[in-house]
Structure 1
Amino acid sequence: MVIGFSRTHQYYKHRQPAKDWVTKQSIEATLRDHPSYGHKRLALHLKLNKKRVLRVMRLFGIKPYRRVTPKLYTKPKDSVFPNLLITETPLGPGDIYASDFTYLKYHGRWVYVATVLDVFTREIVGVSVLTTHSTQLVLNALANAVLYCPPPRIVHSDQGSEYASMDYAALVQKLGILQSMSNPGCPWENGYQESFYKGFKLDLGDPNRFATLGELVAAIYQTINYYNRYRIHSAHKMSPVQFVATL
Structure 2
Amino acid sequence: MIDPDHNRLSIRRQCELVSISRASFYRQPASETAENLELMRVIDEAFMETPWYGSRQMMRHLRRQGWCVGRKRVRRLMRKIGLSPIYQAPKTSAPHPQHRIYPYLLRHLSIARPDQVWCADVTYIPMRRGFLYLVAIMDWFSRKVLAWRLSNTMDADFCVAALEEAIARHGRPDIFNTDQGSQFTSFAFTTTLKDAGIRISMDGRGRWMDNVFIERLWRSLKYECVFLNAFETGSEARSGIGSWIDYYNRRRLHSAFDGRTPDEVYATAEMTEQLAA
* Superposed pair shares fold, TM > 0.5: yes
Alignment of 1:43-122 (within 5 A): 66-68=52-54, 69=56, 80-122=101-143
Moved over 6 A (4+): 70-73, 75-79
Query: For residue 126 of structure 1, what is the aligned residue in structure 2?
Result: 147
Give the counterpart of 1:226 among 240, 243, 247: 247
**Retained in 1: the 8 A contact 2:124–2:133?**
yes
User: Structure 2 CA distance, aligned partners of 1:72 and 1:230?
Assistant: 37
- In structure 2, list runs of 5 or more residues that go unmatched: 1-48, 58-86, 270-277
State TM-score, norm by structure 1.
Answer: 0.67
Label 1:65 to 1:166 Cα distance change in 2 as closer, same or farther (>3 A): same
**Retained in 1: the 8 A contact 2:147–2:165?**
yes
Please tell me the residue identity of whatever aligns with 2:241: I
**Retained in 2: the 8 A contact 1:118–1:124?**
yes
**Retained in 1: the 8 A contact 2:180–2:203?**
yes
Alpha-carbon shift at residue 109 of structure 1 (Å): 1.8
User: Structure 1 CA distance, aligned partners of 2:149 and 2:209?
Assistant: 23
User: Structure 2 CA distance, aligned partners of 1:241 and 1:217?
Assistant: 21
Secondary structure at 1:173's aligned position in 2? Answer: helix
Secondary structure at 2:249's aligned position in 1? Answer: helix
Query: For residue 23 of structure 1, what is the aligned residue in structure 2?
Result: none
- Per-residue CA deviation, residues 202-239 of structure 1 (Å, 9 max, x unaligned), is 12144753444312211111110100011112321321
Q: State yes or no: 1:179 paired with 2:200.
A: yes
Q: State yes or no: 1:204 paired with 2:225.
A: yes
User: Structure 2 CA distance, aligned partners of 1:157 and 1:73?
Assistant: 18
User: Structure 2 CA distance, aligned partners of 1:217 and 1:207?
Assistant: 15
User: Structure 2 CA distance, aligned partners of 1:175 and 1:227?
Assistant: 28
User: Structure 2 CA distance, aligned partners of 1:168 and 1:103?
Assistant: 20
Alpha-carbon shift at residue 194 of structure 1 (Å): 0.4
Alpha-carbon shift at residue 245 of structure 1 (Å): 4.5
Compute the RMSD of aligned alpha carbons. 2.9
**Retained in 2: the 8 A contact 1:99–1:193?**
yes
Q: State yes or no: 1:141 paired with 2:162.
A: yes
Give the counterpart of 2:260 among 217, 233, 238: 238
Label 1:175 to 1:207 Cα distance change in 2 as closer, same or farther (>3 A): farther
Please tell me the residue identity of whatever aligns with 2:266: V
Alpha-carbon shift at residue 199 of structure 1 (Å): 0.2
Please tell me the residue identity of whatever aligns with 1:234: S
Label 1:212 to 1:184 Cα distance change in 2 as closer, same or farther (>3 A): closer
**Retained in 2: the 8 A contact 1:64–1:188?**
no
Please tell me the residue identity of whatever aligns with 1:151: R
**Retained in 2: the 8 A contact 1:105–1:207?**
no
Please tell me the residue identity of whatever aligns with 2:194: Q
**Retained in 2: the 8 A contact 1:159–1:181?**
yes
Percent of aligned pairs sharing the same letter:
26
**Retained in 1: the 8 A contact 2:127–2:232?**
no
Alpha-carbon shift at residue 181 of structure 1 (Å): 0.5
